[in-house]
């Protein structure tokens, strides 16, 4: 369903929706035991919840597509990730929770090395450690050109983000990275005639930055890619008519949530912190996105046992979540991260929705095997919000 239709049908209500996301939740059987991480974990509370819920699997982007964190979450927020795309520069800024303004232009930067003639000798400057590039970033701060501010922030290793803030800027600027060793960095070039002022400004910034980097180690030059502006999407408060809060500790997820108009609440690193934050802000919001990162981290590390343990830790916190008594409680993931694959995967993601109006189905426990019997089947993750809205009494009838 498109957001235009949601906006037409959405109505306000006193009901509360909690979307609890265990990052990278879905798994695959352990080659020795044949059990997935969810099957192996001790999860009495999640299992009880499953017995009272409508269950199934979501497909985050499309069948067979492995999602990044951005698309995986956007889908859960109701934004079709194939339609709502985030420019590279904005994604980078979002990843560090940089507070992008709508007129800002962001680009992803690489520190690189060039020889005496200015030819690129290493496009990533040997993947220098984050601490090193942080020092280089310090050297680039505070350059202002014709009243346009240039913010520079470290990301990770050789990567940084550049944000230009001023009037009349455009993101229609081609990459300066020639993607070839031995070539010189390209000048910033406008891809539309109206972009020439911004291109010239970027070039003056690069010139000043290059001067400041001259003779520096381990990198003496930079490359810019993916110029982009913050997308102008219908915000969750507007499209869904609800006050939406993000309870997420990691910058990337806070940034994503803010892109769709959620308020990112301040929260500590533990799940107890998260639930306390939801509880304290219960009256201020209608919708809470609660993010739990460590299932994904364990999966990415290929650490099956740790992922099992992290799931069990979540299970212990479930009663506190249930006690808040939201009208709709969804427990799911943004994508699968099977420990056996040590990375994100395309596998459909376990999903359950508890509500007074949700029909409980044949699922006895919350794992991939049982969820095959769920009443929701396997459905697009972008429909999760519509389901939540319906069960929360927040969608009017379509047609008479």
| Sites of contact with its own copies (CB under 8 A) | 1, 5, 9, 28-29, 36, 61-71, 81-82, 85-86, 88, 91, 95, 338, 341, 344-348, 357, 359-362, 368-369, 372-379, 383, 386-391, 395-400
Neighbours of 310 (CB within 10 A): 25
Neighbours of 30 (CB within 10 A): 18
**Shortest Å distance, C-beta 341 to its own copies:** 7
Name the residue nearer to its own copies (CB basis): 31 or 215. 31
**Shortest Å distance, C-beta 14 to its own copies:** 17
Tell me the longest C-alpha to C-alpha distance in the chain: 74
Q: The tokens of 137 are what?
A: 């970033």
Neighbours of 171 (CB within 10 A): 20
**Shortest Å distance, C-beta 335 to its own copies:** 9
Name the residue nearer to its own copies (CB basis): 91 or 245. 91
Residue 217 DSSP code: S
H-helix or E-strand containing 64?
none
Name the residue nearer to its own copies (CB basis): 345 or 365. 345
**Shortest Å distance, C-beta 66 to its own copies:** 5
366 in Cβ contact with 50 (< 8 Å): yes
Q: How far is CA 287 from the centre of its chain?
A: 17
**Shortest Å distance, C-beta 86 to its own copies:** 7
353 in Cβ contact with 388 (< 8 Å): yes
Name the residue nearer to its own copies (CB basis): 139 or 362. 362
Residue 349 DSSP code: E
Tell me whether strands 54-59 and 148-156 are parallel, antiparallel or unpaired.
Answer: unpaired
57 in Cβ contact with 351 (< 8 Å): yes
Name the residue nearer to its own copies (CB basis): 30 or 150. 30
**Shortest Å distance, C-beta 193 to its own copies:** 28
Name the residue nearer to its own copies (CB basis): 34 or 182. 34
Sign of CA dihedral 63, 260, 53, 310: positive
Residue 161 DSSP code: E
Give the CA distances from residue 159 to residues 113, 156, 321, in Å, rounded to whole numbers and listed in that order.
Answer: 13, 5, 38
263 in Cβ contact with 246 (< 8 Å): yes
- What gap in Å lies between CA 276 and CA 379, rounded to an integer? 31
Name the residue nearer to its own copies (CB basis): 16 or 159. 159
**Shortest Å distance, C-beta 68 to its own copies:** 4
Name the residue nearer to its own copies (CB basis): 62 or 320. 62
**Shortest Å distance, C-beta 250 to its own copies:** 14
- What gap in Å lies between CA 140 and CA 153, rounded to an integer? 9
**Shortest Å distance, C-beta 271 to its own copies:** 25
Name the residue nearer to its own copies (CB basis): 32 or 396. 396
In terms of Cα–Cα distance, which of 194, 192, 231 is closest to 103? Answer: 231
């Amino acid at each position: 369903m498109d957001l235009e239709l949601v906006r037409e049908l959405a109505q306000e209500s006193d009901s509360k929706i909690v979307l609890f996301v265990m990052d990278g939740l879905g798994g695959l059987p352990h080659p020795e035991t044949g059990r997935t991480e969810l099957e192996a974990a001790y999860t009495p509370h999640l299992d009880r919840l499953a017995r009272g819920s409508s269950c199934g699997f979501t497909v985050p982007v499309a069948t067979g597509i492995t999602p990044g964190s951005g698309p995986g979450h956007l889908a859960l927020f109701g934004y079709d990730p194939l339609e709502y795309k985030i420019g590279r520069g904005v994604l980078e800024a979002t990843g560090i929770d940089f507070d992008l303004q709508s007129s800002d232009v962001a680009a992803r930067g690489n520190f690189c090395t060039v020889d005496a003639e200015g030819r690129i000798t290493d496009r990533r400057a040997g993947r220098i450690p984050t601490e090193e590039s942080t020092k280089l970033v310090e050297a680039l701060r505070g350059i202002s050109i014709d009243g346009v501010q240039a913010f520079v922030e470290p990301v990770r290793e050789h990567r940084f983000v550049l944000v230009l803030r001023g009037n009349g800027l455009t993101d229609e600027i081609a990459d300066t990275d020639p993607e070839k060793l031995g070539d010189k960095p390209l000048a910033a070039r406008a891809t539309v005639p109206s972009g020439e002022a911004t291109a010239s400004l970027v070039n003056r910034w690069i010139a000043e930055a290059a001067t400041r980097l001259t003779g520096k180690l381990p990198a003496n030059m930079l490359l810019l890619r993916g110029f982009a502006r913050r997308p102008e999407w219908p915000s969750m408060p507007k499209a869904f008519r609800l006050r939406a809060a993000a309870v997420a500790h990691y910058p990337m997820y806070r940034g994503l949530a803010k892109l769709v108009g959620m308020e990112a609440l301040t929260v500590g690193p533990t799940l107890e912190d998260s639930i306390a934050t939801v509880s304290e802000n219960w009256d201020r919001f209608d919708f809470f996105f609660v993010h739990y990162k460590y299932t994904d981290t364990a999966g990415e590390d290929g650490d099956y046992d740790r992922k099992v343990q992290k799931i069990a830790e979540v299970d212990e916190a479930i009663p506190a979540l249930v006690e808040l008594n939201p009208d709709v409680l969804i427990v799911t993931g943004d994508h699968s991260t099977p420990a056996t694959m040590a990375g994100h995967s395309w596998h459909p993601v376990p999903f359950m929705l508890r509500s007074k109006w949700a029909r409980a189905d044949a699922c006895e426990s919350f794992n991939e095997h049982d969820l095959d019997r769920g009443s929701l089947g396997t459905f697009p993750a972008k429909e999760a919000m519509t389901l939540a809205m319906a069960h929360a009494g927040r969608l009017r009838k379509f047609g008479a």
